[in-house]
Amino acid sequence: AAGVIQSPRHLIKEKRETATLKCYPIPRHDTVYWYQQGPGQDPQFLISFYEKMQSDKGSIPDRFSAQQFSDYHSELNMSSLELGDSALYFCASSLVGIREPETQYFGPGTRLLVL
């Protein structure tokens, strides 16, 4: 079965540069979530989108922005990168429905290293 796809898998940037992370949800899933996992830490929720509208916002810095497009893929844009932004960025997708409990399926993550 198709899973959540994230690209790129690895990214190296320098301080003050920008980065764009992409997420392609499981087909027919309507909700996308972004999580940030720092070294040795648990995943922290950043932001989510349902049907192309922002549905929830967590601890996402103002330097970051995200959106969900008409084909349901999502992009996380990160500007003025800082060393502390080095982390594994997970995307997850789910289908909000009434028949089954909503379950988030995770992508493999994008490992961002800021030098």
Residues that bind other proteins (CB under 8 A): 3-4, 31, 33, 35, 41-45, 48, 50, 55-56, 58, 90, 92, 94, 96, 101-109
Alpha-carbon distance 102 to 82, whole Å?
Answer: 34
Q: How far is the CB of 80 from other proteins (least distance, A)?
A: 25
Nearest to 54 by CA among 63, 44, 43, 46: 46
Q: How far is the CB of 70 from other proteins (least distance, A)?
A: 21
Q: Which is nearer to other proteins, 14 or 102 (CB)?
A: 102
17, amino acid identity? E
Q: Which is nearer to other proteins, 41 or 77 (CB)?
A: 41
Alpha-carbon distance 97 to 30, whole Å?
Answer: 10
